[in-house]
Amino acid sequence: MKLDVHVQLEEQMEKTIEALKFEFGTIRAGRANQSMLDKVRVDYYGTPTPVNQMAAIAVSEGRILTITPWDKSSIHAIEKAISESDIGIAPTNDGSVIRLVVPQLTEERRKELAKKASKASEAFKVRIRNERRDANDKIKKLEKSSELTEDDAKKATEEVQKMTDKYVKLIDQLTDEKEKDIMAV
């Protein structure tokens, strides 16, 4: 029996997984990746603007990210935003293109990034559990208002738990993949 509560819960959990994938994309693993800059915002005429809306971003030679601004006058603002961000790479600017050379990660930095991925994973598991709690609350309300029988409410709650287990397991798989990616030499 698929209730609206289940459909909404599944949608929420899918969004949570997408948000986790986005978060993992911003954690670099020793290779250049365009998504490293997803969280960087440039003060462009007083508006915080994502870098990818101001420039063409490309990966060259595996470890070099090139950023070519469409508006050449914004190159210094982009460079400043990257320098002030938490990506930990100093940009070089030749007047028309900004380059980010992604250094090889030290063992210590790899462990630090793996911890960051693990911490993000835990935060997203909490989100999944909060979504479970909200769905169970909705089921209880439906039961109280006599829209669901006690047995149906019990089955619905069990279904919510199955979905929660499925998505927590998926988060664990994604985290393991990301940690392996980070720790790979």
In this predicted structure, what is the pLDDT of residue 2? Answer: 62
4-28+106-184 and 34-101 share one fold:
no
By three-state DSSP, how is residue 105 classified? coil
Rounded to two decimals, the pTM is: 0.68
At residue 105 the predicted structure's pLDDT band, cuts being 50, 70 and 90, is: confident
Residue of 150, 156, 147, 162 lying closest to 1 (CA atoms): 156
Give the tens place of pLDDT for each residue, 44-79: 888 888 888 888 888 887 788 888 998 888 888 888
* More confident: 27 or 12: 12
Q: Tell me the average pLDDT of the chain.
A: 87
| CATH fold for the domain made of 34-101 | Gyrase A; domain 2 (3.30.1360)
User: What is the distance between the alpha carbons of residues 34 and 156, in angstroms, rounded to a whole number?
Assistant: 42
By three-state DSSP, how is residue 173 classified? helix
In this predicted structure, what is the pLDDT of residue 84? Answer: 85
In this predicted structure, what is the pLDDT of residue 165? Answer: 95
CATH superfamily of 4-28+106-184: Ribosome-recycling factor (1.10.132.20)
Give the tens place of pLDDT for each residue, 114-156: 898 999 999 999 999 999 999 999 999 998 998 888 899 999 9
By three-state DSSP, how is residue 112 classified? helix
The residue-averaged pLDDT of 7-25 equals 90
**Are the beta carbons of 25 and 35 closer than 8 angstroms?**
yes
In this predicted structure, what is the pLDDT of residue 148? Answer: 86
The sheet with strand 55-60 has its strands ordered as: 55-60, 64-69, 98-101, 92-93
**Are the beta carbons of 51 and 57 closer than 8 angstroms?**
yes
Rg (CA), the chain: 22
Domain ranges of the chain: 4-28+106-184, 34-101
DSSP state of 133: H
